[in-house]
Amino acid sequence: MRIGVPRALSFYRFHPAWAAFFDRLGVELAVSPPTNRATLEAGLRYAVAETCLPMKLFYGHVRALVGQVDQLLVPSIQRLAPGSTNCARQIGLPDLLRATMPDLPPLVAPDIDLGQEARALLSLVLEMGAPFSRNPLTLRDAVTAAWDAYRAARQAMQEGRLTPADFDRPGKAPPWPPDGIPVAVVGHPYNLYDPFINHQLLVRLARLGVNPLTPERLGPQPGADYWAFEHELVGAARLALERGVRGVIAVVAFGCGPDAVLVDEVRQLCREAGVPMMALVLDEHSGEAGLVTRLEAFVDMLRWRKADG
Amino acid sequence: MTRRVAFPPLGFLSRVAEAYLHALGVETVTPPPTSRRTLDIGVQGSPEMICIPCKLLFGNYVEAAERGATDIVMLGGPGTCRLGYSVAQQARRLQEWGFAVRVHTLDLYHVHRDIFRLTRAFADGRPATELVEPIRFLLALLDLTDALETGVLVARPRERERGAADRAYAAAWERIAALRTREELEEQRDDILGLLDAVGLDEDRPVLRIGLVGDVYTILTPFLNHNLEVQLGRMGVEVRRWFRYTGRVSLPLPDFLRMDRGGRARRAGSRYLKRDVGGFARSTVAEAALMAEGEVDGLIHVAPFNCTPETVAQSALVALQRERGVPVLSLSFDEQTGAAGVMTRLEAFVDMLWSARRRRR
């Protein structure tokens, strides 16, 4: 039994938890290879034109797994707290996929809704684990292992020992310059840690002498969320500004519903704090040269401000 | 200062809302119809990448405030879509721009609850017993306007004299706007609907039936959809909107036991979109799936460009088209959409549906 995991969307947040969970159940996970041109082209064949680039890449990663695995892990992430909501595409992800591709293997598609009571979560785990183990103790063990792995990964990321890009091959130390200009780079992890989607943004920043402080490196972020992952932009920007970063870069995908409004909140926070802010909007047409020019200009500007001030 | 309430322009819904507020004895302010100016204001006051309904609604609120509204009913509510979040941003921006208005959110996921809540707020302490009659008036109004809205969509493609149906429709609305009580409404109901019945129709004329599904704001805003329903009517198409306002109250039964249209639609649609992803996406897909069971020749799906829930619906409709063989035309609208481009696509789609129907014979 092999379950395929598309290297997209929630992979960059929850993979350590899934890996531990299925490991305890004796199920092998297969992660699709890193994004490349072919991933995008495969995705574009299936996605509706208007959807966002991360979704298109998600489809591409699914195509890389179809035929290679027995089942596909496609969670529907709904709410992380009562009264919040998530992007429509992430809620409807399994439905979207089934509607788009007729030749899919069976889906493992749990509805992750942390806005519900504990009892609902319990039945979710039992239902999801049922095909693999009927023993509730094994399942409890698997859930505990998943939580522990998740917390350990968050801790490792905060300490700079791990990035979401390396979730399935740990041990690589990310090369951030510790004395670089501290700049908050806020956004969802699938936009920050997929070097294809953002033209190696983090590496380029490091080369320009910037210490990019991502939400994962900043640690737990404050604030109640309306959107499930609002904290990755607004909360992270607020926290970083409190810690005295010299600039903020918000990385968002074109066509992202929540981010369209969240970028404005980040801009507002930066204006109030008097800190320079740049929004990078990613789509399949964004060229590398344009990005490099904007990054260089932004970093130059930060240096001049320091020289003046 | 007396309270003057404004409701954003939303086709027949805003007219019903105003008639209802008048029946409650509340003064209203009618914002100007959505226009180029509304859009310019909205663009200035909204995040760049937000969808056009959010922008237009903000423009509507500003124009209402300019006309002297003291209270504005804003559309939103958590979980709906970006509107749920935008509504707070919009309220803040109105204050920043110096409009001292009270804002009231109408939660689109809890319309019935919020109608009652807003009624209580606007009734200024009158006892609940005095509100029963206005609410019954509101229900009767919705029932009447539903009949009228459906009637004009049926009459338009069949009218003998071009524009006759729309003239009768406008005349009917003048009568409805003057209604104040349920007794008046019941007395005049037949007369008002009779205006539409008096339009000369060619009953033998063959017409196409197209189901119109998608975002409600887009369907109800001719400025945004380039007068889609009227244009289709003139091409000989009977449009069936996916939503109606009466008959939506059903017993709280699980889906598989519900025999009403909503329940049957939910069952038909769950194959294509099972989860509620916000906005109107699930209802859109459910109604589309039911209409695809032989009720219509084709479906037109409209959405604002970049509407997140409706892009999910769009994918589900692709599957519906593939499995049921029902032709689907997806149109997305934003400030850059040109009328000529829309017309060309509509004409091509209608031609295609005619030839498909001829082939079936």
Give the pLDDT confidence of B145-178 residue by residue, as tens digits.
989 999 999 999 999 999 999 999 999 999 998 9
A273 and A299 inside one domain: yes
Where is average pLDDT lowest: A139-153, A164-178, B2-16, B248-262?
B248-262
For residue B257, pLDDT beyond 70: no
A210 and A97 inside one domain: no
* Chain B residues closer than 8 Å to A50 by CB: 305-306, 311, 314, 332
Strand order in the sheet with A28-31: A28-31, A2-5, A71-73, A107-108
A144 and A237 inside one domain: no
The mean pLDDT value for B103-112 works out to 85
What does the pLDDT read at residue B332?
92
A14 and A103 inside one domain: yes
Q: Which of B47, B278, B318 sits opposite A261 (nearest CB)?
A: B47
Measured torsion, CA atoms of residues A44, A50, A52, A54, in degrees rounded to the nearest 10: -20
A132 and A194 inside one domain: no
Q: Which of B81, B275, B318 sits opposite A92 (nearest CB)?
A: B275
Residues B318, A259: C-beta atoms closer than 8 Å: no
- From the number of C-beta atoms within 10 Å of its C-beta (0-12, 13-18, 19+), residue A172 rates as exposed
> Under the phi-then-psi rule, with left for phi > 0, alpha for psi from -120 to 50, and beta for the rest, what region is A27?
beta
What does the pLDDT read at residue B128?
81
C-beta atoms surrounding B11 within 10 Å = 16
- Looking at residue A286, which CATH number applies to its domain? 3.40.50.11900
What does the pLDDT read at residue A196?
94
- The residue range of the domain holding A203 is 174-308
Percent of chain A with pLDDT over 70: 97
pLDDT grade for B141, boundaries at 50, 70 and 90: very high
Q: CATH class for domain B4-126? A: alpha beta
A184 and A91 inside one domain: no
Q: What is the DSSP string of B167-236?
A: HHHHHHHHHHHH--SHHHHHHHHHHHHHHHHTS-B-TTS--EEEEEEE-HHHHH-HHHHTSHHHHHHHTT
The mean pLDDT value for A138-142 works out to 90
The answer to whether residue A164 is domain-embedded is no
- Looking at residue A94, which CATH number applies to its domain? 3.40.50
What does the pLDDT read at residue A105?
95
Percent of chain A with pLDDT over 90: 66
Using a CB–CB cutoff of 8 Å, tell me whether B319 touches chain A.
yes
Residues B84, A226: C-beta atoms closer than 8 Å: yes
What does the pLDDT read at residue A270?
97
Residue ending a domain, choose from A125, A156, A187: A156
C-beta atoms surrounding B110 within 10 Å = 15
Q: What b-and-e string marks burial along B233-265, b requiring 16 or more CB atoms within 10 Å of the CB? A: bebebbbbbbebbeeeeeeeeeeeebeeebbbb
Residues B86, A87: C-beta atoms closer than 8 Å: no
Residue B288 distance to chain A (closest CA, Å): 14
Amino acid at B120: R
What CA–CA distance (Å, rounded) separates A7 from A39?
10
Residue ending a domain, choose from A156, A191, A207: A156
The answer to whether residue A94 is domain-embedded is yes
Q: What is the pLDDT of residues A243-285, one digit of tens each?
A: 999 999 999 999 888 898 899 999 999 999 999 999 999 988 8
For residue B163, give the nearest of B227, B221, B243 by alpha carbon: B227
Residue B47 distance to chain A (closest CA, Å): 6
Nearest CA in chain B to A260: B49
What is the number of structural domains in chain A? 2
What does the pLDDT read at residue B71?
95
Comma-separated ranges of CATH 3.40.50.11900 domains in chain B: 206-360
What CA–CA distance (Å, rounded) separates B7 from B193?
25
Residue ending a domain, choose from A156, A186, A218: A156
The answer to whether residue A163 is domain-embedded is no
The mean pLDDT value for B341-357 works out to 95
Residues B315, A96: C-beta atoms closer than 8 Å: yes
What CA–CA distance (Å, rounded) separates A74 from A111?
9
DSSP β-ladder status, A111-113 and A71-73: unpaired
Using a CB–CB cutoff of 8 Å, tell me whether B140 touches chain A.
no
A276 and A130 inside one domain: no
Percent of chain B with pLDDT over 70: 95
The answer to whether residue A47 is domain-embedded is yes
Instruction: Cite the DSSP H helix spans in B32-163.
Output: 36-44, 52-66, 82-96, 111-122, 132-155
Q: What b-and-e string marks burial along B21-53, b requiring 16 or more CB atoms within 10 Å of the CB? A: bbbbebebbebeebeeebbebbbebbbebbbbb
What does the pLDDT read at residue A309?
60
What CA–CA distance (Å, rounded) separates B295 from B297?
7
The mean pLDDT value for A165-191 works out to 87
Give this complex's ipTM: 0.85
- Residue A138 DSSP label: H
The answer to whether residue A125 is domain-embedded is yes
DSSP-based three-state secondary structure for B60: helix
Longest dimension (CA), chain B: 67
What CA–CA distance (Å, rounded) separates B105 from B99?
17
The answer to whether residue A114 is domain-embedded is yes
Question: Between A39 and A285, where is the model more confident?
Answer: A39
- From the number of C-beta atoms within 10 Å of its C-beta (0-12, 13-18, 19+), residue B280 rates as buried
Amino acid at A143: V
What does the pLDDT read at residue A297?
96
Q: What is the pLDDT of residues A104-115, one digit of tens each?
A: 999 999 888 877
Residue A187 distance to chain B (closest CA, Å): 16
Q: Encoding tokens for residue B62?
A: 């500003």
* A–B CB contacts, 8 A cutoff, strictly below: 100
Q: What is the pLDDT of residues B272-285, one digit of tens each?
A: 998 888 888 888 99
What does the pLDDT read at residue B260?
76
A146 and A181 inside one domain: no
pLDDT grade for B206, boundaries at 50, 70 and 90: very high
For residue A149, give the nearest of A23, A254, A290, A237 by alpha carbon: A23
Of the residues B311, B317, B323, B334, the best mutation for testing chain A's interface (the one with the most A CB atoms within 10 Å of its CB) is B311
Question: Between A120 and A152, where is the model more confident?
Answer: A152
The answer to whether residue A168 is domain-embedded is no
Q: Which of A50, A88, A256 sits opposite B305 (nearest CB)?
A: A50
A7 and A134 inside one domain: yes
pTM of the model: 0.89
Average pLDDT, chain A: 90
DSSP-based three-state secondary structure for A51: coil
For residue B258, pLDDT beyond 70: no
Question: Between A221 and A290, where is the model more confident?
Answer: A290
What does the pLDDT read at residue B201?
93
Residue B210 distance to chain A (closest CA, Å): 22
Amino acid at B196: L
pLDDT grade for B345, boundaries at 50, 70 and 90: very high
Nearest CA in chain B to A111: B275
What CA–CA distance (Å, rounded) separates B233 from A204?
56
Using a CB–CB cutoff of 8 Å, tell me whether B336 touches chain A.
no
Residue A69 distance to chain B (closest CA, Å): 23
For residue B272, give the nearest of B334, B318, B220, B331 by alpha carbon: B318
Q: What is the pLDDT of residues B57-85, one digit of tens each?
A: 999 999 999 999 999 999 887 766 888 88
A196 and A104 inside one domain: no
- Domain covering B206-360 in this structure, CATH number: 3.40.50.11900
- Of how many residues is chain A composed? 309
A8 and A60 inside one domain: yes
Cα–Cα distance list, A131 to A69, A108, B8 (Å): 16, 10, 51
* Chain B residues closer than 8 Å to A89 by CB: 277, 308, 311-312
A149 and A8 inside one domain: yes
The answer to whether residue A161 is domain-embedded is no
